[in-house]
Structure 1
Amino acid sequence: MKKPKHPRTLKLIKNYIPKQLVSDEIEIYPNGIFQFFISKILEDIDNGIFIPKMERIDIAKWRKTHIINSESLDQVHLQRVNTKQPIIQAEIRIGQFEIIDGNHRIEKAYRDGKKSIHSYKIYGEELVPYFYTQEGYECFVKYWNSKLGD
Protein backbone atom coordinates (compact mmCIF):
# COMPACT_ATOMS: atom_id res chain seq x y z
CA MET A 1 0.00 0.00 0.00
CA LYS A 2 1.30 3.45 -0.93
CA LYS A 3 2.01 5.76 1.99
CA PRO A 4 -0.29 8.83 1.89
CA LYS A 5 1.34 12.20 1.28
CA HIS A 6 1.93 14.38 4.28
CA PRO A 7 -0.55 17.31 4.28
CA ARG A 8 2.34 19.79 4.28
CA THR A 9 4.16 18.26 1.30
CA LEU A 10 5.29 20.93 -1.14
CA LYS A 11 4.82 20.33 -4.84
CA LEU A 12 7.81 21.27 -6.96
CA ILE A 13 6.78 23.80 -9.60
CA LYS A 14 8.91 22.94 -12.66
CA ASN A 15 8.81 26.41 -14.20
CA TYR A 16 9.16 28.32 -10.94
CA ILE A 17 9.97 31.96 -11.56
CA PRO A 18 10.97 34.11 -8.58
CA LYS A 19 8.74 37.14 -7.99
CA GLN A 20 9.84 40.46 -9.37
CA LEU A 21 10.05 43.58 -7.25
CA VAL A 22 8.13 46.73 -8.14
CA SER A 23 10.41 49.11 -6.21
CA ASP A 24 14.19 49.50 -6.61
CA GLU A 25 15.14 48.54 -3.04
CA ILE A 26 16.24 44.92 -2.75
CA GLU A 27 16.71 43.19 0.59
CA ILE A 28 17.55 39.51 0.70
CA TYR A 29 17.87 37.26 3.74
CA PRO A 30 20.60 34.71 2.96
CA ASN A 31 20.42 31.34 4.68
CA GLY A 32 22.85 29.19 2.74
CA ILE A 33 21.31 28.42 -0.63
CA PHE A 34 17.91 29.57 0.67
CA GLN A 35 17.70 33.27 -0.12
CA PHE A 36 14.44 34.90 0.93
CA PHE A 37 13.21 37.99 -0.90
CA ILE A 38 12.43 40.23 2.10
CA SER A 39 11.67 43.28 -0.06
CA LYS A 40 8.99 41.37 -1.99
CA ILE A 41 7.45 39.91 1.18
CA LEU A 42 7.11 43.42 2.63
CA GLU A 43 5.82 44.84 -0.65
CA ASP A 44 3.14 42.11 -0.89
CA ILE A 45 2.13 42.69 2.74
CA ASP A 46 1.89 46.45 2.15
CA ASN A 47 -0.20 45.90 -0.99
CA GLY A 48 -2.52 43.37 0.70
CA ILE A 49 -1.42 40.57 -1.65
CA PHE A 50 -0.02 38.55 1.25
CA ILE A 51 -1.59 38.62 4.70
CA PRO A 52 0.55 36.60 7.10
CA LYS A 53 -0.43 35.63 10.62
CA MET A 54 0.43 38.29 13.20
CA GLU A 55 1.98 37.18 16.47
CA ARG A 56 3.51 38.92 19.46
CA ILE A 57 6.85 37.40 20.37
CA ASP A 58 7.77 37.17 24.05
CA ILE A 59 11.34 38.51 23.78
CA ALA A 60 12.75 36.80 26.89
CA LYS A 61 11.28 33.44 25.85
CA TRP A 62 12.57 33.88 22.28
CA ARG A 63 16.10 34.62 23.52
CA LYS A 64 16.14 31.38 25.54
CA THR A 65 15.69 29.26 22.41
CA HIS A 66 17.39 31.35 19.70
CA ILE A 67 20.91 32.63 19.27
CA ILE A 68 21.16 36.36 18.67
CA ASN A 69 24.72 37.45 18.02
CA SER A 70 24.40 41.04 19.24
CA GLU A 71 28.11 41.71 18.53
CA SER A 72 27.47 41.19 14.79
CA LEU A 73 24.70 43.79 14.71
CA ASP A 74 25.43 47.26 13.34
CA GLN A 75 25.40 49.36 16.52
CA VAL A 76 24.67 52.62 14.67
CA HIS A 77 21.72 51.07 12.82
CA LEU A 78 20.54 49.48 16.07
CA GLN A 79 19.93 52.92 17.58
CA ARG A 80 17.78 54.04 14.63
CA VAL A 81 15.43 51.07 14.21
CA ASN A 82 11.72 51.34 14.90
CA THR A 83 10.64 48.58 17.29
CA LYS A 84 6.98 49.24 16.47
CA GLN A 85 7.52 47.86 12.95
CA PRO A 86 6.81 44.10 12.94
CA ILE A 87 9.68 41.69 12.46
CA ILE A 88 9.39 38.67 10.16
CA GLN A 89 9.76 35.18 11.54
CA ALA A 90 9.79 32.33 9.03
CA GLU A 91 9.48 28.57 9.33
CA ILE A 92 12.67 27.52 7.57
CA ARG A 93 12.72 24.20 9.44
CA ILE A 94 9.45 22.44 10.16
CA GLY A 95 8.01 23.73 13.41
CA GLN A 96 10.94 26.11 14.02
CA PHE A 97 10.85 29.80 13.24
CA GLU A 98 13.78 32.14 12.69
CA ILE A 99 13.88 35.90 12.33
CA ILE A 100 14.58 36.70 8.69
CA ASP A 101 13.93 40.43 9.05
CA GLY A 102 14.18 42.41 12.27
CA ASN A 103 17.14 41.13 14.30
CA HIS A 104 18.11 44.74 15.06
CA ARG A 105 14.52 45.52 16.13
CA ILE A 106 14.21 42.58 18.52
CA GLU A 107 17.63 43.37 20.03
CA LYS A 108 16.72 47.04 20.49
CA ALA A 109 13.36 46.07 22.03
CA TYR A 110 15.23 43.78 24.43
CA ARG A 111 17.72 46.51 25.38
CA ASP A 112 14.85 48.97 25.85
CA GLY A 113 13.23 46.54 28.32
CA LYS A 114 10.22 45.70 26.15
CA LYS A 115 8.49 42.43 26.93
CA SER A 116 7.27 41.62 23.42
CA ILE A 117 7.40 42.67 19.80
CA HIS A 118 4.97 42.29 16.88
CA SER A 119 5.86 39.85 14.14
CA TYR A 120 4.64 38.47 10.87
CA LYS A 121 4.72 34.68 11.20
CA ILE A 122 5.32 33.01 7.85
CA TYR A 123 4.91 29.26 7.48
CA GLY A 124 7.10 27.16 5.17
CA GLU A 125 4.36 26.79 2.56
CA GLU A 126 3.92 30.58 2.48
CA LEU A 127 7.63 31.11 1.77
CA VAL A 128 7.44 29.40 -1.62
CA PRO A 129 6.75 32.57 -3.68
CA TYR A 130 9.52 34.47 -1.93
CA PHE A 131 12.69 32.66 -2.93
CA TYR A 132 15.15 34.90 -4.70
CA THR A 133 16.46 32.14 -6.97
CA GLN A 134 14.95 29.09 -8.65
CA GLU A 135 17.82 26.95 -7.35
CA GLY A 136 17.14 27.99 -3.74
CA TYR A 137 13.43 27.28 -4.19
CA GLU A 138 14.05 23.79 -5.60
CA CYS A 139 16.49 22.93 -2.80
CA PHE A 140 14.01 24.16 -0.19
CA VAL A 141 11.18 22.01 -1.56
CA LYS A 142 13.41 18.92 -1.54
CA TYR A 143 14.73 19.73 1.93
CA TRP A 144 11.25 20.47 3.34
CA ASN A 145 9.67 17.32 1.93
CA SER A 146 12.56 15.17 3.17
CA LYS A 147 11.93 16.39 6.73
CA LEU A 148 8.17 15.71 6.77
CA GLY A 149 8.62 12.04 7.62
CA ASP A 150 11.06 12.71 10.49
Structure 2
Amino acid sequence: MEKYRDRRLSKSQRLNEYNLKSGDEYYQNGIFVFNITRLTEYIKNNKEEFEIIEVKVKDYQSMDKGKSLNQEYVATADLTRPLILAEIVPDRLKHGYPDISLDYYSRGFNVIDGHHRLAKAYQEGIETLSAYVVRMEQHIPFMVKGYDKYVEYWNSKLV
Protein backbone atom coordinates (compact mmCIF):
# COMPACT_ATOMS: atom_id res chain seq x y z
CA MET A 1 0.00 0.00 0.00
CA GLU A 2 1.34 3.46 -0.90
CA LYS A 3 1.82 5.93 1.90
CA TYR A 4 -0.35 9.00 1.65
CA ARG A 5 2.40 11.46 2.51
CA ASP A 6 4.48 10.14 -0.40
CA ARG A 7 1.89 11.52 -2.83
CA ARG A 8 1.28 14.86 -1.16
CA LEU A 9 1.34 17.80 -3.58
CA SER A 10 2.72 21.28 -3.02
CA LYS A 11 1.81 24.44 -4.86
CA SER A 12 5.47 25.06 -5.68
CA GLN A 13 6.28 21.66 -7.25
CA ARG A 14 4.59 22.19 -10.60
CA LEU A 15 7.22 21.66 -13.30
CA ASN A 16 5.58 21.65 -16.73
CA GLU A 17 2.56 23.51 -17.92
CA TYR A 18 0.80 22.72 -21.16
CA ASN A 19 -1.26 25.85 -21.59
CA LEU A 20 -4.13 25.82 -24.02
CA LYS A 21 -3.35 26.91 -27.55
CA SER A 22 -5.88 27.78 -30.20
CA GLY A 23 -7.55 24.55 -31.32
CA ASP A 24 -6.53 22.49 -28.28
CA GLU A 25 -9.19 20.20 -26.84
CA TYR A 26 -9.71 20.55 -23.11
CA TYR A 27 -11.84 18.96 -20.42
CA GLN A 28 -13.23 20.77 -17.42
CA ASN A 29 -13.78 18.62 -14.35
CA GLY A 30 -15.36 21.04 -11.89
CA ILE A 31 -12.85 23.86 -11.42
CA PHE A 32 -10.00 21.78 -12.85
CA VAL A 33 -9.20 22.04 -16.58
CA PHE A 34 -7.02 19.55 -18.47
CA ASN A 35 -5.33 20.04 -21.85
CA ILE A 36 -6.53 16.86 -23.57
CA THR A 37 -4.68 17.56 -26.83
CA ARG A 38 -1.28 17.65 -25.13
CA LEU A 39 -2.08 14.74 -22.79
CA THR A 40 -3.18 12.59 -25.74
CA GLU A 41 0.03 13.44 -27.62
CA TYR A 42 2.08 12.55 -24.57
CA ILE A 43 0.32 9.21 -24.14
CA LYS A 44 0.77 8.42 -27.85
CA ASN A 45 4.52 9.03 -27.57
CA ASN A 46 4.94 7.30 -24.18
CA LYS A 47 2.46 4.39 -24.19
CA GLU A 48 4.72 2.23 -22.06
CA GLU A 49 4.14 4.60 -19.12
CA PHE A 50 0.39 3.98 -19.04
CA GLU A 51 -1.70 1.02 -17.99
CA ILE A 52 -4.47 0.17 -20.45
CA ILE A 53 -7.60 -1.55 -19.18
CA GLU A 54 -11.07 -2.53 -20.35
CA VAL A 55 -13.95 -0.63 -18.71
CA LYS A 56 -17.62 -1.53 -18.67
CA VAL A 57 -19.47 0.99 -20.81
CA LYS A 58 -22.64 0.83 -18.69
CA ASP A 59 -20.70 1.74 -15.52
CA TYR A 60 -19.24 4.91 -16.99
CA GLN A 61 -22.16 5.78 -19.26
CA SER A 62 -24.40 6.05 -16.20
CA MET A 63 -22.14 8.87 -14.94
CA ASP A 64 -22.76 10.83 -18.16
CA LYS A 65 -26.55 10.57 -18.31
CA GLY A 66 -27.05 14.22 -17.31
CA LYS A 67 -24.58 15.57 -19.88
CA SER A 68 -25.85 16.88 -23.16
CA LEU A 69 -23.58 15.66 -25.92
CA ASN A 70 -23.61 16.69 -29.57
CA GLN A 71 -25.24 13.64 -31.18
CA GLU A 72 -23.64 14.36 -34.57
CA TYR A 73 -20.24 14.15 -32.89
CA VAL A 74 -21.29 11.01 -30.99
CA ALA A 75 -22.13 9.36 -34.33
CA THR A 76 -18.59 10.00 -35.62
CA ALA A 77 -16.76 8.97 -32.42
CA ASP A 78 -13.85 6.58 -33.01
CA LEU A 79 -14.39 3.58 -30.74
CA THR A 80 -10.86 2.32 -31.40
CA ARG A 81 -9.40 5.27 -29.45
CA PRO A 82 -9.05 4.43 -25.75
CA LEU A 83 -10.75 6.60 -23.15
CA ILE A 84 -8.61 8.48 -20.65
CA LEU A 85 -9.33 7.82 -16.96
CA ALA A 86 -7.62 10.28 -14.63
CA GLU A 87 -6.98 9.70 -10.95
CA ILE A 88 -8.80 12.75 -9.59
CA VAL A 89 -8.73 11.59 -5.95
CA PRO A 90 -6.11 9.25 -4.48
CA ASP A 91 -6.82 5.68 -5.59
CA ARG A 92 -9.13 4.45 -2.85
CA LEU A 93 -8.25 0.80 -3.43
CA LYS A 94 -4.50 1.33 -3.14
CA HIS A 95 -4.92 3.56 -0.11
CA GLY A 96 -6.77 1.00 1.98
CA TYR A 97 -10.41 2.00 1.81
CA PRO A 98 -12.41 -0.95 3.15
CA ASP A 99 -15.01 -2.57 0.92
CA ILE A 100 -14.21 -0.42 -2.12
CA SER A 101 -15.44 -1.66 -5.47
CA LEU A 102 -12.76 -2.71 -7.93
CA ASP A 103 -14.07 -0.50 -10.73
CA TYR A 104 -11.94 2.53 -11.45
CA TYR A 105 -14.73 5.09 -10.98
CA SER A 106 -15.31 3.97 -7.38
CA ARG A 107 -11.57 4.10 -6.87
CA GLY A 108 -11.43 7.81 -7.84
CA PHE A 109 -10.79 7.78 -11.60
CA ASN A 110 -12.92 10.01 -13.83
CA VAL A 111 -13.27 9.97 -17.61
CA ILE A 112 -11.57 13.13 -18.86
CA ASP A 113 -11.55 12.11 -22.51
CA GLY A 114 -14.02 9.83 -24.28
CA HIS A 115 -17.55 10.85 -23.29
CA HIS A 116 -18.74 10.81 -26.92
CA ARG A 117 -17.16 7.38 -27.41
CA LEU A 118 -18.92 6.10 -24.30
CA ALA A 119 -22.26 7.41 -25.57
CA LYS A 120 -21.76 5.80 -28.99
CA ALA A 121 -20.68 2.48 -27.49
CA TYR A 122 -23.70 2.51 -25.19
CA GLN A 123 -26.06 3.28 -28.08
CA GLU A 124 -24.53 0.45 -30.13
CA GLY A 125 -24.67 -2.08 -27.29
CA ILE A 126 -20.90 -2.39 -26.96
CA GLU A 127 -20.07 -3.68 -23.49
CA THR A 128 -16.43 -2.61 -22.99
CA LEU A 129 -13.98 0.00 -24.22
CA SER A 130 -10.25 0.35 -23.72
CA ALA A 131 -9.00 3.10 -21.44
CA TYR A 132 -5.67 4.54 -20.41
CA VAL A 133 -5.23 4.85 -16.65
CA VAL A 134 -3.55 8.17 -15.87
CA ARG A 135 -2.26 8.63 -12.35
CA MET A 136 -2.17 12.03 -10.67
CA GLU A 137 1.58 12.35 -11.22
CA GLN A 138 0.98 11.83 -14.95
CA HIS A 139 -1.92 14.24 -15.43
CA ILE A 140 -0.70 17.15 -13.28
CA PRO A 141 1.51 18.67 -16.05
CA PHE A 142 -1.59 18.86 -18.27
CA MET A 143 -3.79 20.72 -15.79
CA VAL A 144 -4.16 24.24 -17.16
CA LYS A 145 -6.52 25.72 -14.59
CA GLY A 146 -7.22 25.15 -10.92
CA TYR A 147 -3.84 23.71 -9.89
CA ASP A 148 -3.60 25.45 -6.50
CA LYS A 149 -7.14 24.38 -5.57
CA TYR A 150 -6.37 20.87 -6.82
CA VAL A 151 -3.35 20.69 -4.46
CA GLU A 152 -5.65 21.53 -1.54
CA TYR A 153 -8.31 19.08 -2.77
CA TRP A 154 -5.86 16.20 -3.34
CA ASN A 155 -4.05 16.68 -0.05
CA SER A 156 -7.34 16.85 1.85
CA LYS A 157 -8.16 13.33 0.59
CA LEU A 158 -4.94 11.89 2.04
CA VAL A 159 -5.18 10.64 5.61
TM over 0.5: yes
Alpha-carbon deviation of 1:15?
A: 6.3
Aligned counterpart in structure 2 of residue 28 of structure 1, from 26, 29, 32: 26
1:108 maps to 2:108: no
Gaps of at least 5 residues in structure 1 are none
- What pairs up with 1:33-48 in 2 under 5 angstroms? 33-48=31-46
Identity of aligned residues (%): 31
Number of equivalences: 141
Q: Is the 8 A contact 2:14 2:141 kept in 1?
A: no
- What pairs up with 1:1-150 in 2 under 5 angstroms? 6-13=5-12, 16-19=15-18, 25-48=23-46, 51-63=49-61, 66-69=62-65, 72-95=68-91, 96-133=108-145, 136-149=146-159
Q: Which amino acid aligns with 1:140?
A: Y
Q: Is the 8 A contact 1:19 1:132 kept in 2?
A: yes
Compare CA radii of gyration and give the structure with the larger one.
Answer: 1
Alpha-carbon deviation of 1:94?
A: 2.5
Alpha-carbon deviation of 1:105?
A: 0.2
Aligned to 2:49, what secondary structure does the other structure show?
coil
- State the TM-score, normalizing by the size of structure 2: 0.76
Alpha-carbon deviation of 1:5?
A: 6.0
Gaps of at least 5 residues in structure 2 are 92-107
Q: Is the 8 A contact 1:56 1:119 kept in 2?
A: yes
Alpha-carbon deviation of 1:71?
A: 5.9
Q: Is the 8 A contact 2:19 2:35 kept in 1?
A: no
Alpha-carbon deviation of 1:24?
A: 5.5
Structure number with greater CO (CA < 8 Å, separation at least 6) is 2
Q: Is the 8 A contact 1:92 1:98 kept in 2?
A: yes
Please provide the CA RMSD for this pair: 2.5
Alpha-carbon deviation of 1:111?
A: 1.3
Q: Which amino acid aligns with 2:147?
A: Y
Cα distance in structure 2, aligned partners of 1:132 and 1:111: 32
